[in-house]
């Protein structure tokens, strides 16, 4: 049987029976869960090594731009030759593109000869245009002159060079097909220019295939899953100003405003939160509809820059946006109906929020304390995101092994070269997927760790207030927040590491199982029977429930760690026992309070998502090299960052309520059901059984 905690959290009696001073939350502490702190530090060392590998091997330009036939990344000013502003990948030989699209062909598009250009070439209306290889050897042109001549130096070719060019072996190639800039690759349109074809045939040029396959081959490459994932990651890198404003500054401002309004307008805040939540979720859903093309004419398009309005090219990003719009519609309907269902309970939420407002008014440092973990996380996220972009683009550029005929004229050696003419690809290390998962897991664990530390500091500060009977007392340190931070840093970092690791581990298991489920779905091996589907869905539901329970237990464990200084497991057991023994007394009040706070977090994060949509809809992100393929990922990242920031600041109210309720339960248990230290406002909220019944059940039916 667990003994009383009075000697730990209240005034404790001395041997002569007199009350001793200084016994508030500071008695009999020692370092806990040190092993897990060591594991956490070792994991951070691994994160640094893993990130160093990414910085050493990665190049974020690879996420956006392709490779030319020399293995250079388009747009790289350090390449040889320098390719600054030459960001578009263009395939020179149309027959190679056609051959790569044949069903049983061994020739791959990656082996087709490609160079980097500033814009996509177009066929001439009265003659034949040419695109020639980078100038070198006997071609005495600078790169700037080559660009000024629209990449055409056919008139300078020797007879031998002209003969190889007519045979589609370079160094110059005819522009027969119009092309359009699709995600920084010039995609051919299967509409060859009759004028250009006529001139080509008059020159004795070899036959050029003009089938639809030439269109589909490049389209298939640019819409592969790996290409889409790279573009999504590149979108996050390009939209870093949006992430700073909408994922950092805006939620900080909104969260502080919300805390101040809780302090001064607590009675109105639950109603304001519910109404604002409904407005925001409808607005964000409408933006998804706009970008999906279901409302208006502002759907996302893979085409960059000016183009023929009759040219329509669809990409995977549009399908993903439409899937997200459908999902948001479902979430919106459920959320609105749920918010309507809890309207009758809002008065109860007002009562419990008044207690938190009282605490914030007494311990005013709680309002500004979350800025400390906010600043730490902001620095961490910037470094982590930079490392993630390099890690996703890490690998070595190596030449492919191809057995196909890819002969091309080599200006340096002055002859047609059929050796080493294969294209280049990025070869990733064998364990790159593990490194990326390790990096993602580290981000989640670090986030949970800092949130846990913030929650524990707040709980320690609020507990000091409670066990002084809600009054300003000499026993409360002048700066309770900093005293709580000192106790955390000295004794409880290991417990924070264990608690955050538990949540991260469960989330990782759920992520892995979800990935397996999607792969099985793609492979059409999802259970077809009712029993199989029932087991499948039940397992997902149970995993969600377990995850929610662990997060709830962790939060209460952090409170008991702040109060008692016990280890994580012992504190979890104490908190669970207190809650079970008092579930009927505090359950309703606590749940409704949590629901309102959860809606408040969503209001802040939805505002971040809404403003991210607005910023990404400006000209800067819709054209030129800053164009993003889709606002989906940047908006989701802003949404997530906004929620993390809101969690840090709303944790002040959330942990205040939970800490006071748990302290109240312990206080009542030690004093035969009557709390001795509870502030009057809390006693009024929790002990008035007639008022509780009226608030929760409504007026009696006549």
**Residues 355-381: tens digit of each pLDDT:** 777 777 777 778 888 999 999 999 999
Same domain, 241 and 169: no
With 50 as the cut, is the pLDDT of residue 18 above it? no
Confirm if 610 and 287 have CB atoms less than 8 A apart.
yes
473 is a domain residue:
yes
Same domain, 234 and 216: no
pLDDT tens, residue by residue, 147-167: 999 999 988 888 888 988 898
Q: Which residues contact 581 (CB under 8 A, 6 or more apart)?
A: 665, 669
Q: Which residue has the tokens 């030319």?
A: 68
25 is a domain residue:
no
Category of 262 on φ-ψ map: left (φ > 0), alpha (ψ -120 to 50) or beta: alpha
**Tally of domains within the chain:** 2
Same domain, 641 and 567: yes
What is the C-alpha separation between 693 and 698, in angstroms, rounded? 8
pTM over 0.75: yes
With 60 as the cut, is the pLDDT of residue 332 above it? yes
Same domain, 491 and 518: yes
Same domain, 513 and 635: yes
Same domain, 253 and 202: no
Among 201, 223, 245, the domain boundary falls at 223
483 is a domain residue:
yes
pLDDT tier for residue 260 given thresholds of 50, 70 and 90: confident
With 50 as the cut, is the pLDDT of residue 270 above it? yes
Same domain, 482 and 398: yes
Percent of the chain with pLDDT over 70: 81
Q: Which residues contact 505 (CB under 8 A, 6 or more apart)?
A: none
For the chain, helix (H) and strand (E) counts, in that order, are: 24, 10
Give pLDDT, residue 401. Answer: 80
Cα angle for residues 151, 152, 154 (degrees, 5° grid): 150
48 is a domain residue:
yes
3-state percent helix, strand, coil for the chain, nearest multiple of 5: 60, 5, 30
701 is a domain residue:
no
Give pLDDT, residue 584. Answer: 63
Mean pLDDT of 44-51: 93
Give pLDDT, residue 82. Answer: 84
Mean pLDDT of 125-139: 88
With 80 as the cut, is the pLDDT of residue 513 above it? no
With 60 as the cut, is the pLDDT of residue 13 above it? no
Least confident of 36-40, 314-318, 321-325, 493-497: 314-318
pLDDT tens, residue by residue, 202-257: 888 888 877 777 878 888 888 888 889 999 999 999 999 999 999 999 999 999 99
Note down the domain range covering 409: 34-54+229-305+313-690
Q: Which residue has the tokens 């000295």?
A: 490
With 70 as the cut, is the pLDDT of residue 615 above it? yes
Same domain, 79 and 125: yes
Same domain, 499 and 621: yes
Quick one: angle between helices 432-466 and 530-564, nearest 10?
A: 50
Same domain, 336 and 387: yes
Strand partners, 185: 89, 182
Give pLDDT, residue 431. Answer: 80
Both tokens of 29, joined, read 């502490």
Give pLDDT, residue 539. Answer: 64
426 is a domain residue:
yes
Among 223, 242, 265, the domain boundary falls at 223
Give pLDDT, residue 625. Answer: 75
23 is a domain residue:
no
Q: What does the mean pLDDT of the chain come to? A: 81
Confirm if 470 and 529 have CB atoms less than 8 A apart.
no
pLDDT tier for residue 682 given thresholds of 50, 70 and 90: low
Q: Which residues contact 167 (CB under 8 A, 6 or more apart)?
A: 205, 206
- In 119-274 the beta strands, taken as DSSP E runs, fall at 130-132, 172-174, 179-182, 185-188
Same domain, 102 and 158: yes
Same domain, 580 and 563: yes
Among 223, 242, 268, the domain boundary falls at 223
Q: Can you give the three-state secondary structure of 329-352, one letter per residue?
A: HHHHHHHHHHHHHCHHHHHHHHHH
Of 267-276, 398-407, 413-422, the range with the highest mean pLDDT is 267-276
Q: Name the CA radius of gyration of the chain, rounded.
A: 32
Both tokens of 441, joined, read 């897991």
645 is a domain residue:
yes
With 80 as the cut, is the pLDDT of residue 633 above it? yes
With 90 as the cut, is the pLDDT of residue 342 above it? no
């Amino acid at each position: 049987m667990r003994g009383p905690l009075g000697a730990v959290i209240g005034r404790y009696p001395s041997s002569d029976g007199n009350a001793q001073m200084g016994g508030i939350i500071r008695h009999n502490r020692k370092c806990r869960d040190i092993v897990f702190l060591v594991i956490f530090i070792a994991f951070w060392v691994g994160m640094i090594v893993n990130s160093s590998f990414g910085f050493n091997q990665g190049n974020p330009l690879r996420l956006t731009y392709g490779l030319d036939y020399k293995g250079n990344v388009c747009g790289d000013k350090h390449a040889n030759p320098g390719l600054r502003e030459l960001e578009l990948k263009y395939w020179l030989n149309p027959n190679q593109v056609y051959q790569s699209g044949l069903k049983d062909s061994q020739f791959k598009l990656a082996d087709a000869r490609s160079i980097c250009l500033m814009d996509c070439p177009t066929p001439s209306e009265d003659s034949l245009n040419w695109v020639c290889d980078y100038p070198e050897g006997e071609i005495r042109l600078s790169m700037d002159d080559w660009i000024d001549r629209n990449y055409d130096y056919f008139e300078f070719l020797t007879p031998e060079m002209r003969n190889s060019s007519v045979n589609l072996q370079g160094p110059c190639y005819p522009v027969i097909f119009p092309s359009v800039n699709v995600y920084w690759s010039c995609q051919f349109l299967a509409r060859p220019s009759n004028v250009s074809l006529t001139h080509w045939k008059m020159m004795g040029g070899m036959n050029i295939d003009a089938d639809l396959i030439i269109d589909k081959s490049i389209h298939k490459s640019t819409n592969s899953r790996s290409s889409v994932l790279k573009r999504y990651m590149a979108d996050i890198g390009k939209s870093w100003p949006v992430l700073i404003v909408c994922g950092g500054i805006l939620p900080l401002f909104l969260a502080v405003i919300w805390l101040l309004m809780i302090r001064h307008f607590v009675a109105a805040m639950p109603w304001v939160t519910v109404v604002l939540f409904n407005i925001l979720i409808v607005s964000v859903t409408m933006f998804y509809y706009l970008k999906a093309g279901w409302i208006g004419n502002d759907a996302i398009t893979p085409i960059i820059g000016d183009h023929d309005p009759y040219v329509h090219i669809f990409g995977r990003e549009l399908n993903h946006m439409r899937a997200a719009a459908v999902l948001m519609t479902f979430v919106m309907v459920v959320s609105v109906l749920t918010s309507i269902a809890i309207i009758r309970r809002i008065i109860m939420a007002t009562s419990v929020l008044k207690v938190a407002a009282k605490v914030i008014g007494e311990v005013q440092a709680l309002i500004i304390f979350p800025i400390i973990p906010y600043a730490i996380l902001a620095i961490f996220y910037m470094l982590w995101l930079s490392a993630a972009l390099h890690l996703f683009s890490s690998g070595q550029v190596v030449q492919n092994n191809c057995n196909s005929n890819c002969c091309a004229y080599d200006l340096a050696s002055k002859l047609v070269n059929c050796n080493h003419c294969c294209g280049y690809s990025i070869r990733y290390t064998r364990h790159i997927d593990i490194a990326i998962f390790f990096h993602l897991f580290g981000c989640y664990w670090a986030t949970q760790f800092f949130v846990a530390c913030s929650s524990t500091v707040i709980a320690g500060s609020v507990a000091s207030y409670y066990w002084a009977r809600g009054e300003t007392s000499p026993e409360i340190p002048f700066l309770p927040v900093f005293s709580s931070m000192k106790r955390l840093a000295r004794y409880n970092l290991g417990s924070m590491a264990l608690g955050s690791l538990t949540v991260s581990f469960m989330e990782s298991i759920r992520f892995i199982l979800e990935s397996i489920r999607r792969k099985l779905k793609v492979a059409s091996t999802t259970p077809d029977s009712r029993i199989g589907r029932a087991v499948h869905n039940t397992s997902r539901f149970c995993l969600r429930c377990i995850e929610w329970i662990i997060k709830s237990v962790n939060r209460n464990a952090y409170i008991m760690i702040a109060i008692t200084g016990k280890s994580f497991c012992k504190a979890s057991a104490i908190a669970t026992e207190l809650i079970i023994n008092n579930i009927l007394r505090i359950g309703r009040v606590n749940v409704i309070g949590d629901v309102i706070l959860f809606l408040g977090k969503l209001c802040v994060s939805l505002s971040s998502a809404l403003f991210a949509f607005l910023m990404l809809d400006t000209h800067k992100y819709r054209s030129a090299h800053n164009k993003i393929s889709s606002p989906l990922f940047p908006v989701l990242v802003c949404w997530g960052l906004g929620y993390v920031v809101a969690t840090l600041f709303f944790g002040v109210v959330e942990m205040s309520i939970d800490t006071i309720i748990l302290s109240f339960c312990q206080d009542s248990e030690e004093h035969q059901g009557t709390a001795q230290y509870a502030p009057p406002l809390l006693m009024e909220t929790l002990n008035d059984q007639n008022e509780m019944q009226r608030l929760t059940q409504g007026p009696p039916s006549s």
